[in-house]
Amino acid sequence: MRSVIVGTAGHIDHGKTRLVKALTGIDADRLGEEKRRGITIDIGFAHLELKAPNGEKLELGFIDVPGHERFVRNMLAGVGGIDLLLFVVAANESIKPQTQEHFEICRLLSLRRGITVMTKSDLVDADTLKVVRAELEDFLRGSFLDPATSPIIAVSSREGTGLEELKQALASLAAEIPTKNQDAYFRLPIDRAFTMKGFGTVVTGTMISGGIGKETEVEILPQKLRARVRGVQVHGSACDKAVAGERTALNLAGPGISTDVLARGMVAVDPGLFAPTRLVDVRLSLLRSAKPLQDRARVHFYAHTSEAIADVLLQDRKQIAPGEDAYVQLRLSAPTLLLPQDHFIVRQFSPVVTIGGGIVLDAAPLRQKAEAHLAFLGQLANGSAEQVLAARVARQNGNGLDLARAVSETGWLARTVETLADALAKAGKAVRIDSVLIATAALAELETRTLAEIENFQQQNPLLAGYNKEALRERLGIRGEIFERVLAELARLKKIDISGEQVRTAGRGVVMKDEEVESKQMIEQAFAQAGLRVPALKEVLAGLKIDKGRAQRLVTLLLREKTLVKLGDDLVFHQKALQWLRSSLAEQKSKSQKIDVAKFKDLTGVSRKYAIPLLEYLDREHVTRRVGDERIIL
């Protein structure tokens, strides 16, 4: 059975709720105050089964919206998820202020199909009905409700005239509406949250994508609450699963899940995929009837069932003129879940009237130069899916784009992102490194930067054998997997050599001047001749002809070559002396397997100043093991 959401729009007291009741038998006014005052205050719901001309069963879910100007914000919470519009105009009043505002809202939301209904036709004569029809034809011409393609039907909800013709038109149009994307991640904007006796917490909404079943985990954004779906209803009937395009109620359970924290404007989604935002890039269309919109102006922002205050940040101008389109960044007063291609409405801050709307382009903006940012938004607005992903990858430069982040930014299924990523890689536009996609040009630029950084380091540090890999990565600010790929490619091209944790340009070794060669020999000789009774390092360096900085780098070089071994800040030994020590302990083991500090001093001829650091070194090297005040020679 195909599910279609039908929404009403029109001025207050033009008979929207009565029309829905006449069609479905259900009174959509559920609030006591609505019944007392005789006006719709909040959105209401009803449903009707019809048969399409081809015999297919159709389930129509009706969303009845308030017409009073004070309740347009409630109207916006209901109109966002509809497939087909019933545009209601009373024959005895014709076009009124909210008729025009509701019409502009529906047009800005890019509704494609609808029926214009002249209600209260029993209150006027035939001539008046013709005049109202002519006014409507002129008003609607060129729009999605153009009379050339969309019917105008006169009805009387009180007498029942025209209702059968309206049902036939509904069935015919509903059958043409494409099925909403069920092969997508689940999203349910919440329009009601309440407690039902015997069930607990219930939320309702019009599902805009995906599907949901019983015993499924969902996440409520922006609160980031997790909940379990205990039960599912579609149009008031229990079922195992609800899908996109259906009016859905979910019975939720979980820690913190109650009507105290759940409210209209929140969204139930598949867990762990998306994040709410306060900053969003959009393409905004300003109505011709609006005043010029200034940079930094404040507006009321509406998307699906959510609303917020937004600051308008214009990208390339100081104001938007009436009737113009522009790329705009909106800074929202509250975190909101938005994805690309979501529609929104903006209303003037004061007085509160509808002034425009548009589509979301990016809900995860990055800081870019103005020209690059505008070019990026143009790619998002006009590019194919592959071009959009390429643009999102390119703006990350050398950081690359995680495929999981690509899902979060676009709302596309993971397999869709994988397919597009493979296509970009095959076309040579990007490179796949594990779960990261990086633009080919960005990777090439990183290779150039990396090689230049290594060369510069070696020029500044000719006495060092190479550049420490981790220090190089941090200097470049590259994530690990991309850094390793860059090094591997440079090594493959024989531009660098990699030795353990050191990298250097290919064929490059330590470059020393004559006085540095002499000084290095002097340092080594000083420690080689000292045996285990070594001088202080700073004393050795003080006797050299070169400056302290170069002398320290020569020591570092000797340590990396393992000619010298450092046991303390100022305590260095020649490796031959330590080899002699190992041999001496091996001989000592044949006499006694144990040795204490006193015996060690006698064996080596060193003072306690050297004995303790040497014994601790031997412990670390697993030559000895300390047991109390003694060491066991291993």
Instruction: Give the pLDDT of residue 505.
Output: 87
Q: Which residues contact 392 (CB under 8 A, 6 or more apart)?
A: 401, 406, 409, 410
Q: Concatenated DSSP letters for 412-439?
A: --HHHHHHHHHHHHHTTSEEEETTEEEE
* Cβ–Cβ under 8 Å, residues 585 and 623: yes
Instruction: Give the pLDDT of residue 29.
Output: 58
Q: Which residues contact 224 (CB under 8 A, 6 or more apart)?
A: none
Q: For 536, which DSSP code?
A: P
The rounded distance, in Å, linking the Cα atoms of 522 and 174 is 93
The rounded distance, in Å, linking the Cα atoms of 253 and 261 is 13
* Cβ–Cβ under 8 Å, residues 505 and 451: yes
Handedness of CA 438, 443, 449, 454 (dihedral sign): positive
Phi, psi of 316 (to 5 degrees): -140, 20
Query: At 622, is the secondary structure helix, strand, or coil?
Result: coil
* Cβ–Cβ under 8 Å, residues 378 and 325: no
Whether the model pTM is above 0.95 = no
Question: Greatest CA span in the chain, whole angstroms?
Answer: 127
Residue 570 CA, chain-centre distance (Å), reads: 52
Q: What are the average pLDDT values for consecutive 10-residue runs of the chain, which has 634 residues? A: 85 87 80 43 78 89 68 62 91 92 88 94 94 96 94 94 95 87 88 86 91 95 95 88 90 92 94 96 95 96 94 93 96 96 93 93 94 95 96 94 96 95 96 94 95 89 79 92 94 89 78 73 88 86 81 81 84 91 87 87 88 90 88 86
Instruction: Give the pLDDT of residue 588.
Output: 86
The rounded distance, in Å, linking the Cα atoms of 427 and 421 is 10
Query: At 399, is the secondary structure helix, strand, or coil?
Result: helix
